[in-house]
Chain A
């Protein structure tokens, strides 16, 4: 086995787990009922007139605020708020949703003046449709305080330990493990590895502790230089107590690249963690340069914790897998807006153009003069979990759009073929789904995620592959790790190992309770970055030659 470590490159700090919300109360004590009366409606004189089905342009209500901001934001940009009313804010939401929401025609038009807060009304401005599995079609409808969002979006680094944590059970009895660590990071130095189980944090039990503030403070240090003490259980069962100091951690998007020689067959294995723009482009170019030179037989792409990122890099990665011949004449993805768009992006006003398979650098960290390497394979094994999301799913979908055989090993992906433009109004930044991405076969409806299934299906979101539980008993890249082992077996035999799902499940995950909340934890430090090209006015497809 040849192991090739990528150079540790600079990257944003690991976002990891944040904030313990709810579920941690320790008291059975009941609290006296608190009568709550509806908030009084705004004064009639300040209300706009609602006529069902008739919408004024959103621009006529934009920035009319009940509490207008003054001065400048953290970036020094002046607020354009003007004096208005809550009714103005609600009517802006109504018109903006009607103009840009992907499923605008499934919104029930109600009088905004009946609502007392923007968030309460915003929650009405979405579809209630469900997928075939019964999940809501729209699971991404949210807001941020604009100042908080600006801070998140512009933050250049974050504090942490260089360990990616996985919440296997978010409510007591909690179960938090280490998914992987950054080489050389404080976590790695302290002895954290994949599979390490957290037992206590600063003296508080991870499993049942009610002091979630202490748990969160330890898991997600806000500043570098913080010391936190962890009692951990290693893969071999040994327990130890370590104190780890937080740091500004850089992340390598390609956490690992290897060439594995198993039974005379050479597998290229890439553990790719984020499609972020800063270094992911160069890291992928370097990794595939190595794999191209190694003349591999099969490519295994480990996206199990990759929540997405820039679609341009997803396009590059797809090209590196399929190569020039199989991508020739095809587009990677096209954005579809609601039926009012008529070929024009309703947010930017720009013509809608498909994203091609980029065969060169796009300028993040690789110049357009550098040709992309490729392994030129007609099939790819993709390792997945519920945290495989967005741009990762776009790679799977984009490759399927040109008839690359995508073989999925693992569990169902998050199901996010949608995107949005973060839009501020009066101090709140709203996220409402405004577009979907479709592949060259015009397919993009996988809101239930991609699922590995047998018998093989060529339509819908069930695709060839083997359902396997994530394996926290082995390091990533170990040919005996369950997902990778299954991919290797499939490559050799053309089918899933007979005992794969049940055997692997009982072997590695029998003690891990399922938690439906995890289905929505789509990791991703990402979608923010994924669409930052738009937020920042960078439409890659437009500026490339």
Chain B
């Protein structure tokens, strides 16, 4: 189909709109995989543990130290069934840290890294505890 002048005009308008968007966020950074820069202190460990236990339940145990490695965290069955004999469906749950940006302002979030879940994110109150994966301290 040959393009009419009208079509070309619409395409031009669309391009302008896209360019307009580009100018609104000229330096928007993409989200980055992150890790903890240092071993988490007691308060941060407490925060992470409470978040996971509040959202997944007390059957799950985590070691927040894992986030210092590659920014990933495995929540797994703490073994309560050994006391009751009631074998439960407690599949492992995975989390990861991610840095997002509003302009240059970073936000560090702990995200569920499994499909088909609606686990809320945890925003770490001090984004500076996170660094991009691969960044050397």
Contact = CB atoms under 8 A, between A and B. Distances in A.
Contacts of B80: 142, 144, 431
Interface string A303-323: 000010000000000000000
A170 B76 CA distance: 13
Contacts of A141: 61, 78-79
Interface stretch (A2-10, A345-353, A490-498, A512-520): A512-520
Contacts of A522: 79, 81-82, 87
Nearest to A422: B83
A213 B34 CA distance: 35
A18 B88 contact: yes
A390 interface: yes
B77 A517 contact: yes
B116 interface: yes
A253 to B, nearest CB: 13
Interface string A390-405: 1000000000000000
Contacts of B89: 17, 19-23, 167, 170, 174, 212, 216
A217 to B, nearest CB: 13
B92 interface: yes
A408 interface: no
Nearest to A140: B79
Contacts of A32: 120
B44 to A, nearest CB: 8
B88 A27 contact: no
B50 A117 contact: yes
Contacts of A527: 82-83, 85
Interface stretch (B8-16, B23-31, B121-129): B121-129
B17 interface: no
Contact of A120 (B46, B79, B81): B46
B82 A416 contact: yes
Given A15-B84, A19-B89, A167-B89, A120 B118 contact: no
B85 A123 contact: no
Contact of B88 (A149, A172, A521): A521
Interface in A29-68: 29-39
Contact of B53 (A36, A111, A119, A517): A119
Interface in A167-206: 167, 170-172, 174
A327 to B, nearest CB: 28
B83 A114 contact: no
A246 to B, nearest CB: 15
A142 B121 CA distance: 25
Task: Kindly name the residue among B41, B44, B59, B89 whose own CB sees the greatest number of chain A CB atoms within 10 A.
Answer: B89
Contacts of B63: 128
A16 to B, nearest CB: 7
Contacts of B96: none
Contact of A528 (B49, B50, B84): B84
A18 B86 contact: yes
Interface in A420-470: 422, 431
A139 B118 contact: no
A517 B85 contact: no
Nearest to A521: B87
A16 B87 contact: yes
Contacts of A115: 42, 46
A26 B118 CA distance: 9
A25 interface: yes
Task: Kindly name the residue among A22, A114, A117, A121 whose own CB sees the greatest number of chain B CB atoms within 10 A.
Answer: A22
B42 to A, nearest CB: 4
30 contacts: A15-B85, A21-B57, A22-B89, A23-B91, A28-B115, A31-B119, A31-B121, A33-B109, A33-B120, A37-B125, A120-B45, A120-B46, A120-B49, A139-B78, A139-B79, A140-B78, A140-B79, A141-B79, A142-B79, A152-B86, A167-B87, A167-B89, A170-B89, A220-B86, A422-B83, A517-B90, A520-B77, A522-B79, A523-B87, A527-B85
Interface of B: 41-47, 49-51, 53, 56-59, 61-63, 65, 76-93, 109, 114-123, 125
Interface of A: 15-39, 110-111, 114-117, 119-121, 123-124, 128, 139-144, 149, 152, 165, 167, 170-172, 174, 210, 212, 216, 220, 274, 307, 387, 389-390, 416, 422, 431, 515-517, 520-528
Given A142-B78, A431-B83, A517-B77, 18 more contacts: A17-B87, A19-B89, A21-B56, A22-B90, A22-B91, A23-B91, A28-B115, A36-B51, A117-B46, A142-B61, A142-B83, A152-B86, A167-B89, A520-B81, A521-B88, A523-B81, A524-B81, A527-B85
